[in-house]
Structure 1
Amino acid sequence: MSILYVMAKVKSKLGETQKAKNILTRLAANSEKESGCLSYQILYSSEETDTFMTLEVWDSKKSERKHWDEPHLKESLKELEPILAKEPRIEKYQHTSD
């Protein structure tokens, strides 16, 4: 098993921070119920206004790919789209020993 770490930087429009936080918090709770999700955390930037980082840990690339087909993720992305200041930046990593 090759664990996958995913980080997504999400920046909301000014004044939409609380709404983004609520959507992301719900997304994390639903994602953690998925098979293969080991952890899904939402962090708020202490330096960049209205900026969040998701920290996801998946048991495999396959589990993370299946995550993109989940209705709750599609709904969250649809809700986030109009309140984002820019496209989220998503990065994926694995341990160097894998």
Structure 2
Amino acid sequence: MSDMDRRAFVGYAALSGVTAVVLTSSSAEAAGDNSGYFVIAEIVAPKEKAADLRDLLVPYAHKSAKEPGCQKYVLMEVIDEPGRFMTWERWTNKAALDAHMGTPDIKEILPKLKPILAKPVSQIFLDGRTGV
């Protein structure tokens, strides 16, 4: 398997695993309530920019978690890949996420992210269906 194939496979496997864990934990937290609007995002910087990205994302995640409509906002960094971050977010609905996307905090961080990212931010949007 080539290095690129391996990286793509590992990336897909990691994202799939995070999705499964997040949906399982979110349903347990909500005691069977799977309502909400879920987002999983991947934000990646080259290793040499990992600290710069971390310095931007950690305070941003703390602020985002306190916004109206945010039920959960978790920022994670892949252990073996410094500079590769994932978020798991649970919003009351799409309108709450849309409001978040229009905050001054997001308008401030986006231009700072562009020069340090290795690739564009990717996001997956989900609706909860079941939980155990």
* Structure 1 and Structure 2 fold alike (TM over 0.5): yes
Q: Percent identity?
A: 30
Does residue 5 of the first structure (1) align with residue 38 of the second (2)?
A: yes
Asked if 1 retains the 8 angstrom alpha-carbon contact of 2:39 and 2:89, the reply is yes
Structure 1 residue aligned with 2:92, among 44, 51, 59?
59
Asked if 1 retains the 8 angstrom alpha-carbon contact of 2:54 and 2:83, the reply is no
Amino acid at match of 2:51: Q
TM-score, L = length of structure 2:
0.68
Partner of 1:90: 123
CA separation in 2, counterparts of 1:41 and 1:81? 21
CA separation in 1, counterparts of 2:100 and 2:127? 17
CA separation in 2, counterparts of 1:90 and 1:76? 16
Once superposed, what is the RMSD of the aligned Cα atoms? 1.5
Greater relative contact order, per chain length (Cα 8 Å cut-off, separation 6+): 1
CA separation in 2, counterparts of 1:14 and 1:32? 26
TM-score, L = length of structure 1:
0.90
Asked if 1 retains the 8 angstrom alpha-carbon contact of 2:46 and 2:117, the reply is yes
Q: Considering fraction of residues, name the structure with more helix.
A: 2
The aligned length equals 97
Pairwise CA distance, 1:78: 1.4
Q: Show CA shifts across 1:53-92 (max 9, x none).
A: 0111101111001111001011111111100000011011
User: What aligned pairs does 1:1-98 form with structure 2 within 5 A after superposition?
Assistant: 2-97=35-130
In structure 1, list runs of 5 or more residues that go unmatched.
Answer: none
In structure 2, list runs of 5 or more residues that go unmatched.
Answer: 1-33
